[in-house]
Each structure stands twice: as C-alpha cells, then as structure tokens.
C-alpha cells in the first residue's frame, strides 16, 4: 500500500506520476511495475480499457480524482503510434531539475526535440556513457549504467525546428480535455509525420544515413533532419530547389524512370502530402529540358496532376502518338508540353 501520496501536476504525464509515486514510496520501478501487473493493469498496457482501469486504481489509492487529468501518450497508442516516442524517454535536464523529476507531456511527442524554455535540445541518452534514458533512470534520477545524475546531462543549445515549434504552441491544458482536441491533435501529428516522411527523400545530407534507417538516428541527427525539412518547406522556391537537387543526384546515379525517381511521391499524392512538394515536382516536370533518356509513365503523370488516366491515355494516342517511347510512357522532356496541351483541351 502507498503511504506517501504526492500530488500530480498537469505539467506531467501519467507515466511521470506513476514513476514518482513509486519513488516516493520506496518501491523500485521493477517492483512497482510488477505490482501493477499483478492487479491486471500493467504500466505499459496498450488496451484502452485497462488504461482506464489503471487510472481508476491509482485514483482509488490516492482517494482523489486527479490521475485522469494527466496526459497519457499510451492512450494514443492504437490511434497514433507514430506521433509519440514510446520506446525512448526524452527530457530537458534543466526542466527535469526544476520540476524535481517530472516528465513534461510535450517531451513524449515524437517530433518535439527541443525545450523552448531553455533553448536547448532534449536528451534521451546519458551524456556520459550513451545509455538510453528509461523509466528506471527517471525513477532514480540517474543513468542506470554509470550513475551520472540526469540533471547534469549536457544539453546542446538549439532553436526549435518548425515541427518542435508546432508542438510548443499547443495549449498544454487542452491536450486531453475533450474529443475535439484529441482529433485536432491526431490530425496535427499525422500531418507532421506525413510531411517529414514526404520531404525526407529530398533533404539527405551528404553524411547522413538514408532516412529509411531513421531508427538508428540519434536525437541530434533527427533534429538536423527536421531542420533540413523545415528549411526545404520555408518557401516554394526552397522546396523546388530541394526536389531539383535530389532529382539531379538520382539521375546522375543512373535512374532513368521519373516514377522510380519520385517513387515516394505517388503514394504521397494519394496520402495528402504537402502541396508545396506536389507543386515542386510539377515544376520540375514542366521545366525539364534535358534530352537524356529520362522517361515518365502517363499513369504517374495523371496521379501527379490528379487527372483521369484513361482520358490522358486517349489524349496522347490521339494527339501525340509518336511521343510514346512505349505504351503509356513518354520522355520527361515532352511531359510539360503534353500536360499543357491536355489541360488546355479540357
């Protein structure tokens, strides 16, 4: 039974409060996890019903109704797995110190990588030995491997990238208050994920691993990547430049099919990727003036322009039969002219 019953704070997550409850009552984190699991409400349960029971259980122990007011990223697991960091815990060491060991709700958002209060990058590993910060470390306020206190973690000065900035602007008190906020939050985080995924192909840095290996990215690398995506989205011409540079590199690597070159973009178009990116790809296609054998499928073109592929096929057969290098494929060099003619014929 818990003898010490600290008050929760709306500036912390349910995860944070559960860890603090254990600490205040001299439970090890493992013993506390076992205790909750024995009640049929494991700390990490992804089942929404048992998360509710977990909250009710804690409120019952406390004799107060306050746990349900806490932000719980695990309550989003089924709807929005991609919007939160479940596997790693990020903290601002300065905020962590000032709050005496609380985890702020916004640190759990995957694309929030900075602290606006202290102007620094969040940290998710021990700055001494590199071990990931986990619940045990938060519980003991120390690295689980080398014992370095979390509050002495080195933090790098960093301006928020635009994705972190969007999270900072959210009203903390409204993160969980009702269904409408929940929907708005899910929409925002989905858009962030789609945008970063869509732009990622166009912002590779020379020394960066391919974004597909992003799981291996450190927090600092993720930040650099989000900065690059933010910059590519800062204006239409910046997006155009990123697309043109990427395309130039892939072509010089030997790719000859534009649909393969922009293979993520077709999916992107159907998944509501950013309009600036779609526009940049159109600009690239329309202004392509190199006779270097690059081809484009009519189906891919109709996807890009959101037009009916059968009618584009018919238009090409009727008016530009000779331009087809094989059935349904034309040179990229001719694409701007063909699309222009098609759109004018409508």
Interface with Zn ion (CB under 5 A): 92, 94-95, 115, 117-118, 126, 128-129, 131, 143, 145-146, 148
DSSP letter, residue 117: T
Pick the closer one to Zn ion by CB: 15 or 125: 125
Nearer to Zn ion, 92 or 123 (CB): 92
- CB-wise, 147 or 293, nearer to Zn ion? 147
Please state, in angstroms and rounded to a whole number, the distance separating the CA atoms of residues 344 and 346: 5
Residue number, 48 or 148, with CB nearest to Zn ion: 148
Report in angstroms how near the CB of residue 126 gets to Zn ion at its nearest.
3
Q: Is 26 exposed, middle or buried (0-12, 13-18, 19+ CB in 10 A)?
A: exposed
User: Alpha-carbon distance 12 to 93, whole Å?
Assistant: 15
User: Alpha carbon of 35 to those of 45, 85, 137, 247: distances in Å?
Assistant: 14, 25, 19, 56
User: Please, which residue, 121 or 301, has the CB nearer to Zn ion?
Assistant: 121
Kindly state the smallest distance separating residue 302's Cβ from Zn ion, in Å: 49
- Please report the DSSP string for 189-256 in residue order: HHHHHHHHHHHHTT---TTSPPGGGGGG--HHHHHHHHHHHHHHTSSHHHHHHHHHHHHHHHHHTT--
Sign, Cα dihedral of 98, 102, 106, 107: positive
- What span, in angstroms and rounded, lies between the C-alpha atoms of 23 and 150? 15
Which is closer to Zn ion, CB of 103 or CB of 330?
A: 103
Q: Which of 89, 73, 72 is nearest to 134 (CA)?
A: 89
**Toward Zn ion, which CB reaches closer, 126 or 176?**
126
């Amino acid at each position: 039974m818990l003898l010490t019953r600290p008050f929760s704070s709306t500036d912390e997550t349910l995860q944070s409060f559960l860890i603090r409850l254990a600490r205040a009552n001299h439970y090890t984190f493992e013993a506390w996890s076992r205790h909750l699991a024995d009640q049929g409400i494991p700390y990490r349960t992804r089942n929404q019903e048992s998360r509710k029971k977990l909250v009710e259980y804690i409120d019952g122990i406390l004799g107060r109704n306050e746990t349900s007011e806490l932000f719980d990223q695990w309550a989003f697991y089924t709807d929005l797995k991609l919007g939160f960091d479940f596997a790693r815990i990020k903290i601002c060491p300065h905020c962590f110190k000032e709050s005496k060991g609380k985890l702020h709700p916004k640190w759990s958002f995957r694309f929030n990588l900075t602290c606006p209060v202290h102007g620094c990058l969040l940290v998710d590993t021990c700055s001494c030995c590199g071990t990931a910060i986990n619940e045990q470390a938060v519980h003991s306020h120390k690295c689980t491997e080398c014992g370095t206190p979390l509050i002495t973690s080195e933090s790098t000065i960093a301006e928020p990238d635009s994705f972190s900035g969007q999270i900072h602007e959210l009203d903390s008190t409204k993160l969980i208050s009702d269904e409408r906020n929940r929907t708005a939050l899910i929409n925002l985080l989905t858009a962030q994920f789609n945008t970063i995924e869509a732009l990622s192909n166009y912002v590779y840095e020379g020394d960066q691993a391919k974004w597909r290996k992003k799981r291996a990215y450190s927090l600092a690398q993720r930040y650099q990547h989000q900065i690059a995506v933010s910059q590519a989205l800062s204006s239409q011409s910046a997006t155009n430049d990123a697309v043109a540079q990427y395309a130039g590199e892939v072509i010089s690597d030997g790719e000859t099919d534009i649909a393969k070159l922009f293979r993520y973009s077709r999916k992107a178009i159907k998944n509501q990727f950013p309009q600036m990116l779609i526009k940049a790809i159109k600009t690239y296609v329309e202004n392509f003036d190199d006779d270097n054998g690059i081809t484009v499928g009519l189906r891919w073109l109709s996807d890009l322009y959101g037009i009916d592929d059968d009618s584009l096929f018919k238009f090409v057969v009727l008016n530009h039969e000779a331009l087809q290098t094989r059935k349904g494929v034309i040179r990229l060099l001719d694409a701007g002219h063909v699309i222009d003619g098609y759109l004018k014929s409508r």
